[in-house]
Structure 1
Amino acid sequence: IGSPCIETASIILYQTPDLVSVSALEDGPMEAGSTYRLKCDIYNVAPAHNLSVKWYRDNTTLYTDHITTYDVTPRNVTSSLTITPLRSDHRSLFRCKAELHLGPRGPELPPTAASAPFVATVLYAPEFKEGNISKELTPDRDVTFDCSAEGNPDPEIKWIYKPAHNLKETTEGRQKIITVTAATSANAGFYICVATNKVGNVTRTVTLVMRGKTSSVFVYWLPILLLVIILLVGLYCLCHRRKKKGEYSFV
């Protein structure tokens, strides 16, 4: 009878995380254009070196973190993600998912555990839906124009203009509306809209131009301009003629 056959078996037990959670390292809301870090805490997982952490924004994969710490006993693992949020990231859902990749002898689908979503609150400066515009005033006609902006937090809208007895300012929702009744030349000019919140401020201008004002000014100055040109031409011809006759003045 031969000696007994002894073979050593290597057994590794895997354990899916008890909990996976996402949080921000900085307190409070984020500001568009600034840099922040999110962390994913994975509690009581083994083996750690078989762990991959996937980061998502909504349904988009942002980054995969492969854990390299060798440990076959359950332990806590942390992964981090650096982001620079845009205004479009407001209310986006960030989450992480832990995956255990156990090789060809492991389960066909890797065991996973996902965090609850982290809802991003992103503050951003106001932005107008339209830029500077010019509107034509018709004498004795009414004209209306408005101003609104989007931002987080909601911006305060303010008009800056020259007051007039036939001008009224009203508010509808987030819009500030100016109505000019029976317009006169006194209403022509610049109307500046300012949108402000804690992140920043922006301005846009509405220019009111009285109909026919430009053409009437041109008609008024045209005869004067022609007269000046005629005088200059006449003076030049006179001087030129005197020089040809040998007449010079040193005064």
Structure 2
Amino acid sequence: MTAPTRQVVVHRDADEVARATAARLATALATAQSARGEASVVLTGGGTGIAVLAALAASPDRDALDWGTIEVWWGDERFLPAGDPERNETQARAALLDAVPLDPARVHPMEPAGGTFADDADAAAAAYAEELAAAALPEDGASASKVPAFDVLLLGLGPDAHVASLFPGLPGVRETERTVVGVHGSPKPPPTRVSLTLPAIRAAREVWCVVAGESKAHAVARALGGTPETEAPAAGVSARERVRWLLDEAAASQLPAGVRAAQA
């Protein structure tokens, strides 16, 4: 497999990052639908990730998509009861998903706490891994990794350079076999989560790291500057075709020397 291309794009501010990413996402999904008749996206939570969904909901671009053929997955989830306002699923539904005509069978939330697996996040993770494996197609070239070749996988970035719910120092960032793990002892509440692993993330055709704010600048620098992924999980992000870093000027203020960035 050839190495993916990396693109770093700098926008003026957080609002512009959200609007531009929403427009890019609509274009990418429409292109996939034109090529294959369907598309897939992996959503992320956090302020910027949800702002992207809200921007797409408010954009005329949303009406150009055939929402009934889009598969929706999540990169991670806070292991909280269904409908909890802190769940990424809850926030995504409020920002966009409840406003578009998705096929419910193509929407794949992670199991909540108190649901089928009670308080067992590891069992919820194993079930999500099985769901991903069932959706992987040999023609994707994704069968070996047991996840679909997602068209776009969205990621946020924490100040500690975590992505999804893969935190420095926790076992999940070192996982090489499983595609989904339960996360325990997260330094960011809530402490229990479910997350895709780096092998699952790398199966996507494109991964977009969408980051805004000065508090993320050091994390961006570490991720793009060669810090080991066990210390800065974002440094381990890769993809089948392309990794895009979509930043605002504040988040890009400490880019390492040698990292080429395009000004949007």
Of Structure 1 and Structure 2, which has the larger fraction of its residues in strand?
1
* Fold equivalence (TM over 0.5): no
Q: Shorter-chain TM-score: which interval?
A: under 0.3
Larger CA Rg, structure 1 vs 2: 1
Q: Select the structure that is richer in helix.
A: 2
TM-score with structure 2 setting the length:
0.19
**Structure with bigger RCO (C-alpha 8 Å, 6+ apart):** 2
